[in-house]
Amino acid sequence: MPEPIHLDETRLNEYVDGVLDDAAQAEVAAHVASCATCTARVAELRALFGDLAALPDEPLAVDLAPAVLARLPRRARAPAWAPRLALAAQALAAVVAFVLLWPWLAATLQASGAARLVAEAAAILSAMLAGLAPLWRAPVDAAESLLRAASTCALPALPGPVLGWSLGLAGFALAWLLGNGVLLRNLARDQERGE
């Protein structure tokens, strides 16, 4: 009985690679099942695949890490504490800047009559709340009484150094939050995770 026409090399390789569609895969499988020559070629290919898959990785006798690390660009070897140092330096700079600026800031606040401005703003808010009174009687009463009390108050006459340091501390906290917290907090957290 004559053998059927054999499959070409491309078809056989695609079959063994499993890249044919289902119909073509089935067609080739049917031919291979009926053709001793193609069966042998498929077996040879599969044996080669097995040999390649079983080829072990050659063991490495040396640790490459020291040599690789020594060749990394200097930028990569920034010390881990650098972001923390940057945080501290920026916070310190914010404090120093605020203390140095405080005399000017205090004089500006005095000249602008900050206490009078607070009282006027409270009076306006109080009047607005009074207009909404029918809707929110109970809570508005409470708020109105608070604002009325605020409208008659003045800034406490704290001793100069206490007021200065208090405002300085508040300014420092604000400067730190805006200047450092947003930008460097994530960086510090990522570094914690990388340890």
Partner 1 sequence: MRDQTDGDLVLAVRQGRAEAYGELVRRYQGTVFGVCYRLAGERREAEDLAQEAFLRAYQRLGTFDARRPFGPWVRRVAANVCLNRLPSTPADAPLDDERDEDEAADAGGPEAAWENAERSATLRAALLSLPPQYRAVVELRHFHEMSYAEISAELGLPLSDVKSHLFRARRLLAQKLKTYA
Is residue 151 within 8 A of residue 82, CB to CB? The reply is no
Contact window for partner 1 (CB under 8 A) among 23-31, 90-98, 124-132, 185-193? 185-193
Is residue 20 within 8 A of residue 31, CB to CB? The reply is no
| Residue 123 is a binding residue for partner 1 (CB under 8 A) | no
* Comparison of 109 and 187: residue with beta carbon closer to partner 1: 187
Structure tokens at 53: 């898959």
CB of 26 to partner 1, least distance (A): 21
| Residue 24 is a binding residue for partner 1 (CB under 8 A) | no
Orientation angle between helical segments 114-131 and 82-112, nearest 10 degrees: 90
Segment 80 to 99, residues that bind partner 1, using CB under 8 A = 80, 82-83
Structure tokens at 41: 């070629």
Query: Can you tell me which of 6, 13, 99, 123 binds partner 1, judged by CB under 8 A?
Result: 13
Is residue 91 within 8 A of residue 172, CB to CB? The reply is yes
| Residue 111 is a binding residue for partner 1 (CB under 8 A) | no
